[in-house]
Structure 1
Amino acid sequence: MDRLRSLEVYVAVIDGGSFTAAATTLEISAVMVGKYIKALEQSLGAPLIQRTTRHMQMTESGRAFYAEARQVLEQWRQACESVEGLQSTPHGLLRITAPMTLGSCMVAPLVAAFLVAYPQIRVELILNNSSVDLLQDGFDAAFRIAHLEEMDLVAKPLQAYEMLICASLEYLQLNGTPEKPADLAHHRLLVHSSWTQRFNWALKEGNTEIPWPEHWVMKSNDGPALRLAALAGAGILMQPRFLVADDLASGALVSVLGDYLPSPKPVHLIYAPQRARLPKLRAFIDFATQRLGV
């Protein structure tokens, strides 16, 4: 039995909450996950996980073993990175996370160009609008939108996230063009599901902030999907400039309410300072800031 792999499987099971989640993370079958756990329990002579048809929880032994297993895996990662840091040519796996729209429209093309420039590096790009713990979840770097609270991470400023409001000419001809934010109450709106009280895009009228109306005809967690709906004439869209710039240039979409746009939000590339010595991460930081930096 590969003991280090067994530790990795066990930690993945606990972190993911199920054998299936661990199998997806590790790209092996759930049956193989079960075999690793069974072999590990037999080797230790103690059950680590209690399972029923609906629930899974660690035993007392399992909780103690989990804490030590995480520490062993972290020490192994640090040992590998200490050797990797001595190599002159950037290589290896980079794990990067970003919000979905920013990730698909800006970060993904950046990563593609980076892979061409550094063929010995592999990148796992995870797009997710949920907040992740950079170190806990094993990411090398993350792209973040919004003002950052104090943290033990380095934050490189990138181009700001600037929003535009637009609709198709056909929609505006049929429904009229809004002249002020209050007019949006009478329009069909396409909204992003990540807009919450914690992360919102209030319109600006002088010194007054005006919340984006709560009614909508389509809500999605994917900006490009909302863009397609706007192009089809389904309603008014507020999305980042980089997503709709080509449509505005071609006339497929028309900008509205330009005097009331929300204030841009800062974008940062964040990473742990102790990992910046890795050639693969250093190369990506330099590449990203050169192309997207302010």
Structure 2
Amino acid sequence: MDSLRSIEIFVQVVHHGSLSAAARKLGTSAASVSRQVSALEDSLGARLLNRTSRKLTLTEAGEAYFHHAEQILHHVDEATHSVTNLQRAPRGTLRVHSRILVGQLFIIPAIAEFLIAQPEIKIDLMLSNLSVDLVEQNIDVDIRIGKLSDSSLIAKRLTLSDRVVCASPAYLKRSPKIRQPQDLGAHNCLTYRLSKGNVQWRFMNGKGVTTDVPVNGSLQTDYGPALRTAALAGLGLALMPDWSVREDIERGTLVRLFPEFKASFLEFDNGVYAVYQRSRHMSAKVRLFVDHLTGLFDRS
């Protein structure tokens, strides 16, 4: 007896409610379906179906077996599809959304390299700092910053990320001394627009103690590069992802403040994540693109 075939036939019988309907679905005869189900019952030593002239019903053993049988067929389908995807040349359009700053610095260069290596794939790229619904907007991969709260999605962390408070040497030279986070109230803090109301920067010392410091200044924006540009121009202090100002700090055009503290807006998980839908089949183009980004950030 072909066990997997018998399991498939049994599941089809249950789904369609009769031997004849399952036979039509499978392209075989009702007699053949009946023999397969009987052979399965004999091999198990248990009756799975109650047969009457009008309908079929599951026995208690049949209900338990049906649940596991569906799972077995699902896993076989998953395994087959994953191998098929590996062998099939990826093609088609990949819709990607990214936060603006990480998109400009990393994703756009990564896309150019990816498309050269994968000529059968096209990418439709959107850059914004808005939250997007992957299903509603048909997004394949979303590049986000911070931990994922939606359990229906899968998040692959591309890199760890801290935020740093920084300012230009010119601003620091002409402004009051800054020794601790509480001193920020006397300074022009360039802020990222998260929501309406007062803005706070959160600091955590080496012992895990957090302090929220209210800040304000002459510039507020939802466009990260504007904060970097304004900080470089000497306008004030900015709270930025470390990867976005690393070269500026190494060159000395920006100075990092409070290196003994972790800094953030709300949460301290500011990692960069590739987020995609949790589906039965992860397409080859999504897998290849996420793997490409992972390798890029590892090298960076």
Identity of aligned residues (%): 31
The residue number in structure 1 matching 2:164 is 164
Letter matched to residue 129 of structure 2: N
The residue number in structure 2 matching 1:135 is 135
The residue number in structure 1 matching 2:24 is none
Give the 3-state SS of the residue equivalent to 1:97 in structure 2: strand
Per-residue CA deviation, residues 139-185 of structure 1 (Å, 9 max, x unaligned), is 00112222222522222122122111111111111104411011100
Contact (CA 8 Å) 2:176, 2:186: kept in 1 or not? no
The residue number in structure 1 matching 2:276 is 271
Contact (CA 8 Å) 1:166, 1:253: kept in 2 or not? yes
Residues 52-201 of structure 1 mapped to structure 2, 5 A cutoff: 88-194=88-194
By how many angstroms is 1:215 displaced? 1.3
Contact (CA 8 Å) 2:184, 2:215: kept in 1 or not? no
Letter matched to residue 226 of structure 1: L
Normalised to the residue count of structure 1, the TM-score between the two structures is: 0.64
Distance 1:178-1:277 versus aligned 2 partners, 3 A rule: same
**In structure 2, what is the Cα distance between the partners aligned to 1:129 and 1:242?**
17
Contact (CA 8 Å) 1:163, 1:264: kept in 2 or not? no
Normalised to the residue count of structure 2, the TM-score between the two structures is: 0.63
The residue number in structure 1 matching 2:29 is none
Distance 1:196-1:115 versus aligned 2 partners, 3 A rule: farther
Q: CA RMSD in A?
A: 2.7
**In structure 1, what is the Cα distance between the partners aligned to 2:246 and 2:103?**
16
Distance 1:91-1:254 versus aligned 2 partners, 3 A rule: same
The residue number in structure 2 matching 1:285 is 290
Give the 3-state SS of the residue equivalent to 2:160 in structure 1: strand
Distance 1:277-1:289 versus aligned 2 partners, 3 A rule: same
The residue number in structure 2 matching 1:223 is 224
**In structure 2, what is the Cα distance between the partners aligned to 1:246 and 1:158?**
20
Give the 3-state SS of the residue equivalent to 1:137 in structure 2: coil
Per-residue CA deviation, residues 76-104 of structure 1 (Å, 9 max, x unaligned), is xxxxxxxx969822222111112222222
**In structure 2, what is the Cα distance between the partners aligned to 1:285 and 1:196?**
34
**In structure 2, what is the Cα distance between the partners aligned to 1:272 and 1:167?**
39
Per-residue CA deviation, residues 92-147 of structure 1 (Å, 9 max, x unaligned), is 21111122222222222222221222233221221222221111110001122222
**In structure 2, what is the Cα distance between the partners aligned to 1:251 and 1:151?**
42
Give the 3-state SS of the residue equivalent to 1:161 in structure 2: coil
Distance 1:245-1:212 versus aligned 2 partners, 3 A rule: same
The residue number in structure 2 matching 1:241 is 242
**In structure 1, what is the Cα distance between the partners aligned to 2:195 and 2:243?**
18
Letter matched to residue 244 of structure 2: L
**In structure 1, what is the Cα distance between the partners aligned to 2:147 and 2:116?**
32
Contact (CA 8 Å) 1:87, 1:279: kept in 2 or not? no
Is 1:261 equivalent to 2:277 in the alignment? no
Question: Which protein shows a greater Rg?
Answer: 2
Give the 3-state SS of the residue equivalent to 2:279 in structure 1: helix
Distance 1:102-1:287 versus aligned 2 partners, 3 A rule: same
Distance 1:136-1:275 versus aligned 2 partners, 3 A rule: farther
**In structure 2, what is the Cα distance between the partners aligned to 1:139 and 1:122?**
14
Contact (CA 8 Å) 2:190, 2:216: kept in 1 or not? no
Contact (CA 8 Å) 1:155, 1:270: kept in 2 or not? yes
**In structure 2, what is the Cα distance between the partners aligned to 1:86 and 1:155?**
21
**In structure 2, what is the Cα distance between the partners aligned to 1:253 and 1:291?**
25
Which range is displaced more, 155-164 or 241-250? 155-164
Letter matched to residue 267 of structure 1: V
**In structure 2, what is the Cα distance between the partners aligned to 1:96 and 1:196?**
28
Give 5+ residue unaligned stretches, structure 1. 1-83
Distance 1:174-1:269 versus aligned 2 partners, 3 A rule: same
Aligned residues: 210
**In structure 2, what is the Cα distance between the partners aligned to 1:200 and 1:153?**
29
Give 5+ residue unaligned stretches, structure 2. 1-83
The residue number in structure 1 matching 2:203 is 203
Contact (CA 8 Å) 1:201, 1:212: kept in 2 or not? yes
**In structure 2, what is the Cα distance between the partners aligned to 1:211 and 1:145?**
21
**In structure 2, what is the Cα distance between the partners aligned to 1:201 and 1:160?**
19
By how many angstroms is 1:196 displaced? 7.1
**In structure 2, what is the Cα distance between the partners aligned to 1:165 and 1:151?**
32
